[in-house]
Amino acid sequence: MRVLLLSQYLPPLKNISAVRITEVANQFTRNGYEVIGFSTNNHRYELTDHYALDPRVRIVRTNSWDFLIVRMQLKAALLRLLGKSPGTAPVLSHDGIATRSRGARMRSDFFAFLANYLPFSLLFGPGSFIYILRTFFKCLSYVEQDTIIFSSFRPYSDHLIAWMVKKARPRVTWICDFRDPHLPPNATGWFFQWHAWLNRRLFRRATVITTVSHGIAKNLQAYNKTVRILRNGIVGPLDDISGMPAPSFFSITYTGMLYEGTRDPSLLFERLSALLDAGQIDRRHLRLVYAGKDHAIWNSFVRRYGLEDVSEAHGQLPMAEAKELQSSTCINLLLTWADRNYKGVLTGKMYEYFKAQKPIITLINGEHDEELEAIMRNTNAGPVLYQDSDPAEINRFLLLHYEGFLKGATVAQIRPSTLAEFQWDQSFPAFLRETGLPVAGN
């Protein structure tokens, strides 16, 4: 059977979403499907990384001619006109958001709005109407009997192409994937009501809607009666931590974005500052390690709690180096958020941390998230904490692992046997069976 996979986050574009898309392509291939990916050429203008995409996966690329790319090409042309070299390819800036002016951030938010919602996304979103039309006709030429089309949001344009293919070839199986909900869960007003109506009209044609958690699934059930969970997962085997050398510092590591501070490490930093002041942790031993594009925001949190001398902030690192930090640390820090209408924000970072098998401290900004609490409790990964959590709980956790560090021993935390259900090699075949699709060996 043939799978047409629509995603603008196919490798080598550097993005956490590329991990999910790469593994979906790999899993289909390992289960005997012929996979053809459709994407843009935008990777020429953005940061890239190495992903282990199965070489049997074919990728068909189309120039998108969206606002972002036209802007970059006009900038390059202007530089050439002024006699300056734009380099081999102009690369988009990935500086921390906090380094930008308020006006720049407002412009960024405005264009992000235009990029996500119709009709504006046809001009301003990744994958313009030109890309949509060209890719639609390319897809039609690859459709065979029993073809599956897998599209993933975001961006919205890939779902539009899949809807057009499904309308033109009703016999195809359409798996409509949402890594995030499309509409803000708490949004009100006529525009969002109209877009919710439009989404129901479009996505009711999908054979199945997939998403990463039960919390997000609740936001998608109005679009289609068949919503299934296809979690992000652990890629490959678990890390072998048996012969890993003891860390040189009592390190707590966070790799990823901070989303303008909505992922908030304040509770941890406040407790560490108090333990340092009380002499319960030696300042010479502690390291707070950050890797990501929001280092300016990270540094602002660090300064607020007087932790500049124990902070080690990197910029964006290649994925392999970021994972090395996760594997060599004492504790990994997981930051997320939740409210009553938006729970189950199970970031791809959680599964990278599971693969490293180091203790995890989870801080949730907002409401209690029962789904995430259950996962952390069942795996024994570590505490899930909120702004109203008992400070004594985080103190106990930190001091337990600090004592282990002083003794040169890792305190047992995550139970590896509980991680099998989160491994792609286990969860994806189960998803295929649940959807009624063939699985290799069956």
Question: How many Cα neighbours within 13 Å face the side chain of 408?
Answer: 2
> Which pLDDT tens digit goes with each residue over 122-154?
777 777 788 899 999 999 999 998 999 999 998
The whole-number pLDDT of residue 202 equals 95
List the CATH number of the domain containing 429.
3.40.50.2000
Residue 185 lies inside a defined structural domain of this protein: yes
Residues 59, 205 within the same domain: yes
Residue 241 lies inside a defined structural domain of this protein: no
d(CA 229, CA 214): 7
The whole-number pLDDT of residue 98 equals 40
Residue 165 lies inside a defined structural domain of this protein: yes
Which of 102-116, 230-244, 281-295, 372-386 comes out lowest in average pLDDT?
102-116
Residues 213, 303 within the same domain: no
The whole-number pLDDT of residue 139 equals 96
Q: How much is the average pLDDT of 308-320? A: 91
The whole-number pLDDT of residue 95 equals 38
Closest CA to 382 of 364, 408, 409, 405: 364
Is residue 407 predicted with pLDDT exceeding 70?
A: yes
Residues 370, 287 within the same domain: yes
Domain count, the chain: 2
* Chain centre to alpha carbon of residue 366: 19
Residues 284, 173 within the same domain: no
Residues 35, 97 within the same domain: yes
What is the bridge-based pairing of β-strands 58-62 and 311-314? Answer: unpaired
CA angle 316, 319, 325 (to 5 degrees): 80
> Which pLDDT tens digit goes with each residue over 171-200?
999 999 999 888 887 778 899 999 999 999
- List phi, psi (to 5°) of 238: -65, 150
CA angle 3, 6, 8 (to 5 degrees): 145
Compare 208 and 110 and report the one with higher pLDDT.
208
The whole-number pLDDT of residue 92 equals 37
> Which pLDDT tens digit goes with each residue over 200-241?
999 999 999 999 999 999 989 999 999 999 999 998 888 776
Length of the chain: 442
Residue 155 lies inside a defined structural domain of this protein: yes
Residue 139 lies inside a defined structural domain of this protein: yes
Residues 300, 198 within the same domain: no
The whole-number pLDDT of residue 99 equals 44
Residue 441 lies inside a defined structural domain of this protein: no
Residue 243 lies inside a defined structural domain of this protein: no
Residues 122, 208 within the same domain: yes
The whole-number pLDDT of residue 442 equals 59
Is residue 93 predicted with pLDDT exceeding 60?
A: no
Residues 216, 266 within the same domain: no
Residue 244 lies inside a defined structural domain of this protein: no
> Which pLDDT tens digit goes with each residue over 22-31?
999 999 999 9
Q: What is the mean pLDDT of the chain?
A: 87
Residues 220, 290 within the same domain: no
Residues 196, 113 within the same domain: yes
Residues 212, 268 within the same domain: no
Q: Edge-to-edge, what's the strand order for the sheet holding 384-385?
A: 311-314, 286-291, 250-255, 331-338, 360-366, 384-385
- List phi, psi (to 5°) of 314: -105, 165
Q: What residue numbers bound the domain in which 199 lies?
A: 2-235+423-435
Residues 143, 277 within the same domain: no
pTM for the structure as a whole: 0.87
